[in-house]
Structure 1
Amino acid sequence: MRYFALLAALVAAPAMGQASPERLRSDVETMVGFGTRHTLSETQSETRGIGAARRWGKAQFEATSKACGGCLEVVEPERVFTGRRIPEGALIRDVVAIQRGSERPDEVVIIMGHIDSRVSDVMDAVSDAPGANDNASGSALVLEAARALSQQRYPSTIVYALLSGEEQGLYGGQLLADYAKEQGWTVKAVLNNDIVGGSCGSDGVCDNAHVRVFSEGLRADASEEDAARMRSLGGQDDSPSRNVSRWLDGLADDFVGGLDVRQVFRADRMGRGGDHLPFLALGFPAVRFTVAIEDYQHQHQDLRVENGVTYGDTIDEMDFPYLARVTDLNIRAADRLARAPMPPVVSADGLVRPDVLLEWEPVAGAALYRIWRRATDQRDWQWRMDLPADPAADLNSVVLAPDRGDDWIFGVSAVSADGAESPVSSAVPGGQFAPLAAGH
């Protein structure tokens, strides 16, 4: 459901080129051509294994950077991880391209996808594991987004990341989340793209009109005391990630012919995980994009034909026009987020009073603030009011009457001079776009 609109007087966002299905297919074909991209596979070969795939991904980022006059800094965070699926330890390396913001470079938007693949046996690092949809699709999306967005300049930083080690234990996500913390980044949003290139399931059900966005409810970085306050005061449905999901839903509705967002109010699919989860654990807002209909016969499967059924994550099962539309949504989201200010930190006081006092500290780049309200039993924001930003104010406030605080959830978003609006920051415990725990 659409829940925000830009002021008519504000300038529209710059037009973004449409993602190319042909280029996405070419990138996926190249990744499939490495045979396997298993995290524990060959690293020295130039034609096979995870090492060759990572080097190719790095070369793609470098070519994009050359085309934009050196606007991308390519780095490769790495660390040795040991775990149940890496019993002898392995060096995990991510390939990351950083497009520095011109005004607020520490504010960061991350678009990412894992490049590693697997077959039925998660420890089989030798057999062909094409990993077309899971997750060459997400990696191709990241590369295409970098090509499009690098043609613009933004106040905030955009990070494009190809992650390794996801199938062995979300290690690439952990590595990048730790890197973000070490760099002191203020993470505005993490857009994790994992299995985003198919539109039909193994049961024949198809849906090429929607993409699912998963978001957490209670925050993963909440202490027991934090969680108790969220349950008591209504913060269980207003994490930053949940508001990023709402924001994406509204953004998708703004573009005729694009995909509709199907919001899924859980951190990930039932009993499964993705590379956004380590970011949530550190208190960074993160969501997962995934196809509307998963095809379980064509992911995490050995290449085979069994009882007349073909198994394996092969390119012929993909829908590249659909992948292009998911890519376009990511491009539009990153464009808007990188231009928008940070969501402010908001508090609400409605204790034993016939009105509600909202207060928030100013944020850099805000031309106006948008006050939001919705009933406590409603999913989407229902009412709004705009207030011009006062550059001299140390603290912003507004009294809403005759609103009774018990009956409503309140929030505030920030809008830039060119009309880019941030996600809403809810005035509830855990609503702020910042880690909760000290030291995070």
Structure 2
Amino acid sequence: MKKLLTLLVSLLIGSMLTAQIAYSPLVDSLKNEITEAEITSILEQLSGVVEVSIGGQPYTLVTRHSYSASNPKAAEWIYEQFEALGIPVEYHYFNSNGENVVATITGSEFPDQQYIICAHYDDMPSGNLAPGADDNASGVVGVLETARLIKDLDLKYTVKFIAFDEEEQGLIGSHAYADEASSNGDDILGVLNLDMIAYDSDSDYEMSISTEPGSADFTAEYTSVLGTYEFDLTYNFITTGASDHSPFWNNGYQAILAIEDWNDFNNAYHTTGDVIENCNIPYFKQMVQSAVATMASLSLDMKMELVHQPLPSGNFTNDREAVLVINSNHSIGTGSNSPQLYYSIDGGSFTALQPYATSLDTFFFMIPGQSMDTEVEYYLAAQNADANMVSTLPAGGRGMNPPGTVMPINYFSYTILFPLMISSYERPGIIIDQNYPNPFREETTFAFVLDISSRVSISIIDMMGREVAQVTDRPYDAGSHQIQWNADGLPQGQYFFKVQSDDHVEVKSMVVVK
């Protein structure tokens, strides 16, 4: 890992009202097979603490520096680990010295679409001793353990496990591979790069995720896994090009770097002091588990995106309709296992509702009306027809047959409010309604009321904070106005619309489904 200046990014991914990665008991059991003893053993072998066998001969990897005699020995050892797992493996050679190690499990349904999990195996400093326990034997351990645990599964998508060489000389190995993949037209859906994942000096379980706007979807999938499987890991976002995900960005692929907290950086990196004794093994275990859970979820297509616009509080006592849209490649459960809405009144027990109507991937629920000053909490849940995965919104719930019997930690809520006396209440000169319908597929309507004439602009903002469309920007007379708008060309997902008049700015959320 080359530490370079980073630019902190302000991402809104964490506020998305979608559950992308479903909970799977299978994936949960796989991640729980990771043990501290096993990952410590592999880390000891790669960092030269213990002797290994390479080509049937004893050898100690006291360094993995790219220009040392031990570097090709390290590549051979990694090759032999994949070989022992029964995974097809090959060397990817570049320039006169470099060799990446590439193992491949071909997907059964989408063999031409692939995910990559990678880590560089070379290390620093130059000289006769370079343990490189954290940088980056730790990342290689994550790649090997992921391969071990998903190798016998019926993966829907192809997965490549790559150990890159010459990262420390300027990402040479990953540049060679990513450039070649792009030239060949490889359909890479996402790259998870593990680099320095074993150091946590204050045991706060903080990590950093290096991403960029073009990788927002893949970033959201990774963070969804962290939430779905209730890791202790917390995260912050950075942007750095100083590791092997960067060449994939340069070639238009989505990629992220999972790394220990950038603000708690290992000062022993690139020194002979980068040893296993400085590693936080419980933290390291969770970082490896998150990699396993991510690649298993993606390669098994454990995706079930729930899209819902939360119901607002207000002074109404009538029944409330909640709309749920489900995006998934899987058939959704039916009958008693159909999607559910669970609601609770004033903190009481939850009552399950089944949809009163459905339309393709859209499900409609009716929450009974309540009296004034009542708080309603609710969450939604759905499972696939094969009953091997479940998704809730908010995320974190579990339980199947019916889905969502284990509630998430957080819920949606609204309160039935008493009407307010507003004789002397000063409000802005514009009243802005929620767009309707919402969620919507193609067209929606924006409505507002002006007390006096004003210039009004309405812009659409994506989850990265970028303006992606302009609905209107012109003067309007006092009175009520409605603007129909077509979202043609806008990908599905969560967006915001910002309404600005002469004296007021307001932002509301909306959801586009396709």
Q: Same fold (TM over 0.5)?
A: yes
Match of 1:399 among 442, 445, 470: 442
* Structure 1 stretch displaced more, 401-410 or 102-111: 401-410
Query: Does 1:50 find its partner at 2:24?
Result: no
Within 5 Å, which residues of 2 pair with 1:73-112? Answer: 73-80=88-95, 90-112=96-118
3-state SS of paired residue (1:61) = helix
Structure 1 contact 106–184 (Cα < 8 Å) conserved: no
Structure 2 contact 194–258 (Cα < 8 Å) conserved: yes
| Larger fraction in strand | 2
Deviation for aligned residue 1:7: 10
Distance 1:213-1:25 versus aligned 2 partners, 3 A rule: same
Distance 1:343-1:243 versus aligned 2 partners, 3 A rule: farther
Counterpart for residue 213 of structure 1:
209
Within 5 Å, which residues of 2 pair with 1:319-398? Answer: 319-340=280-301, 365=329, 398=441
Residues in 1 aligned to 2:264 and 2:67: alpha-carbon distance in whole angstroms: 26
| Larger fraction in helix | 1
3-state SS of paired residue (1:97) = strand
Larger Rg over CA atoms = 2
Report how many residues are paired.
310
Counterpart for residue 30 of structure 1:
45
Counterpart for residue 182 of structure 2:
181
Deviation for aligned residue 1:27: 1.2
Within 5 Å, which residues of 2 pair with 1:7-156? Answer: 14=27, 15-16=29-30, 17-33=32-48, 34-42=61-69, 49-65=70-86, 72-80=87-95, 90-119=96-125, 124=126, 126-156=127-157
Deviation for aligned residue 1:409: 2.9
Residues in 2 aligned to 1:385 and 1:183: alpha-carbon distance in whole angstroms: 41
Residues in 2 aligned to 1:370 and 1:300: alpha-carbon distance in whole angstroms: 52
Deviation for aligned residue 1:400: 4.5
3-state SS of paired residue (1:168) = coil
Counterpart for residue 83 of structure 1:
none
Residues in 2 aligned to 1:364 and 1:282: alpha-carbon distance in whole angstroms: 28
Distance 1:92-1:54 versus aligned 2 partners, 3 A rule: same
Structure 1 contact 164–171 (Cα < 8 Å) conserved: yes
Counterpart for residue 248 of structure 2:
279
Residues in 2 aligned to 1:171 and 1:337: alpha-carbon distance in whole angstroms: 28
Distance 1:108-1:26 versus aligned 2 partners, 3 A rule: same
Distance 1:273-1:410 versus aligned 2 partners, 3 A rule: closer
Within 5 Å, which residues of 2 pair with 1:286-297? Answer: 286-292=255-261, 293-297=263-267
Structure 2 residue identity aligned to 1:262? Y
Residues in 2 aligned to 1:31 and 1:113: alpha-carbon distance in whole angstroms: 13
Deviation for aligned residue 1:316: 0.4
Structure 2 unmatched runs, 5+? 1-13, 49-60, 306-326, 333-359, 363-379, 385-439, 448-457, 465-490, 496-514
Residues in 2 aligned to 1:403 and 1:91: alpha-carbon distance in whole angstroms: 61
Residues in 2 aligned to 1:192 and 1:53: alpha-carbon distance in whole angstroms: 19
Deviation for aligned residue 1:51: 1.1
Structure 1 contact 188–337 (Cα < 8 Å) conserved: no
Residues in 1 aligned to 2:328 and 2:99: alpha-carbon distance in whole angstroms: 34
The one-character-per-residue Cα deviations of 1:53-88 (angstroms, maximum 9, x if unpaired) are 1111011101111xxxxxx220111110xxxxxxxx
RMSD: 3.5
Distance 1:427-1:24 versus aligned 2 partners, 3 A rule: same
Normalised by the length of structure 1, the TM-score is 0.63
Residues in 2 aligned to 1:259 and 1:341: alpha-carbon distance in whole angstroms: 21
Structure 2 residue identity aligned to 1:287? I
Structure 1 contact 341–365 (Cα < 8 Å) conserved: no
Residues in 2 aligned to 1:199 and 1:170: alpha-carbon distance in whole angstroms: 25
Deviation for aligned residue 1:151: 2.4
Runs of 4 or more, structure 1, over 4 Å off, are 10-14, 341-344, 363-371, 424-428
Structure 1 unmatched runs, 5+? 43-48, 66-71, 81-89, 201-205, 218-238, 304-311, 345-362, 372-383, 389-396, 412-423, 429-440
Residues in 2 aligned to 1:7 and 1:165: alpha-carbon distance in whole angstroms: 34
Counterpart for residue 270 of structure 2:
300
Residues in 1 aligned to 2:243 and 2:140: alpha-carbon distance in whole angstroms: 14
Distance 1:370-1:321 versus aligned 2 partners, 3 A rule: farther
Normalised by the length of structure 2, the TM-score is 0.54
Counterpart for residue 317 of structure 1:
278
Deviation for aligned residue 1:243: 2.5
Residues in 1 aligned to 2:212 and 2:289: alpha-carbon distance in whole angstroms: 24
The one-character-per-residue Cα deviations of 1:285-319 (angstroms, maximum 9, x if unpaired) are 00000012544421012x3xxxxxxxx21110001
3-state SS of paired residue (1:52) = helix
* Structure 1 stretch displaced more, 94-103 or 315-324: 315-324
Structure 1 residue identity aligned to 2:68? S
Distance 1:40-1:399 versus aligned 2 partners, 3 A rule: same
Within 5 Å, which residues of 2 pair with 1:201-280? Answer: 206-217=202-213, 239=214, 241-256=215-230, 258-264=231-237, 266-268=238-240, 273-280=242-249
Distance 1:246-1:410 versus aligned 2 partners, 3 A rule: closer
Structure 1 residue identity aligned to 2:228? D
Deviation for aligned residue 1:406: 2.0
Counterpart for residue 172 of structure 2:
171
The one-character-per-residue Cα deviations of 1:380-417 (angstroms, maximum 9, x if unpaired) are xxxx999x9xxxxxxxx922423597244389xxxxxx
Distance 1:208-1:146 versus aligned 2 partners, 3 A rule: farther
Residues in 2 aligned to 1:267 and 1:370: alpha-carbon distance in whole angstroms: 36
3-state SS of paired residue (1:167) = coil
3-state SS of paired residue (1:191) = strand
Report which structure shows greater RCO (CA 8 Å, sep ≥6).
1
